[in-house]
Amino acid sequence: MPLDWSPLVEFFRKHERPLLMTHIRPDADGLGAQLALHDALVAIGKKPRVAIASKLLPRYEFLDPTREVIEDFKPAAFADRDCVVVLDTGTWNQLGDFGKWLKESPLPRAVVDHHRTQDDLGGLQFVDTSAEAAGRLAHEIIVALGAPISPRAAHCLFMAIATDTGWFRHQNATPATFALCGELVAAGANPTVLYEQLYEAATLARFKLTAVALQRLQVRANGKIAFTEIALSDYPATGSVPGDTEDLINYPRGVEGVDLALVFIEQPDGGTKVSFRSRAADVSKLAERFGGGGHKLASGARVARPLAEARDEVLRAAEELVVSG
């Protein structure tokens, strides 16, 4: 059943200066939803600002090369805001330092998300787990507001939806997905340019890091589980940056016969980031066991253990899931 956006429409009617936020390590879906909604709100006379609470990955710099819209979040710089809208996440652990600020802030807020895992961030909550991307929800909001969809907004929404469906390869791509993306192309989205910028403009360093991940690729549970890992030392060794790990999960997932794929990434604080992908098993529940969450077939977590310990512990749990499933 479609969400009732009337409370959010009223929310925007009452507020003039929204702060549009998304999760840390922002991806194409979160950024696309932010930028498209920003354009729509400007068009109806509002004064929104877009911020991110961690670095903008190099692969997304083309979205705002001069950083005229996307700002780095610094609490003092956003004292003029009168409300907050969080897009593409509903959990505190995905908000980084912004989450600490939000917990202390008296500002009214709304959450717009499509992930199963949710915390109570306060305020209005609009969650549709059947939506293939936050980009779809941003489109629904724009339509509910009666705002125009600019060519740039269409471009950003198409990017959001295309990337969160694996460029229409995943099970969450439906006839409605293609219908909406057709509308967005008619409104100005350029799929060819987007694909080239996202997938055909990788640095040599990124390829070198990918080679490291492929060299370490292993299987478990009679080939049903595949995994690889990246250590902090791999970045200087290859000249890459942490953002270059973003698509590595596709390689273990692409191994023939694999049901569950994982990537373990060592973190500067001594913990380990884990990405989970599955063809059938509910990995969101597996991720939740380690303080994370997400979708049934695509989730993530940060484990407060060194890489080797986190890998062994998570793999044991993954094997239990595969065997029981």
204-233 in b/e form (b: 16+ CB < 10 A) is: ebbeebbebbeebbebbbeebbbbbbbeee
Q: How far, in Å, CA of 254 to CA of 261, rounded?
A: 9
The low-confidence residues of the chain, meaning pLDDT below 70, are 1, 325
- For 204-324, CATH gives 3.10.310.30
Residue 1 pLDDT: 64
Closest to 31 in 3D by CA, of 18, 50, 17, 15? 50
Residue 132 pLDDT: 97
For the chain, the structural domain boundaries read: 6-199, 204-324
For residue 95, what are its two tokens? 């908000």
C-alpha distances out from residue 150 to 157, 165, 270, Å: 10, 23, 44
pLDDT tens track for 119-162: 999 999 999 999 999 999 999 999 999 999 999 999 999 999 99
- Determine the longest span between alpha carbons in the chain, in angstroms: 59
Q: Does domain 6-199 have CATH number 3.30.470.20?
A: no
Asked if the domains at 6-199 and 204-324 fall in one CATH topology, the answer is no
Residue 324 pLDDT: 75
CB 145 within 8 A of CB 9: yes
Q: Three-state SS for 71? A: strand
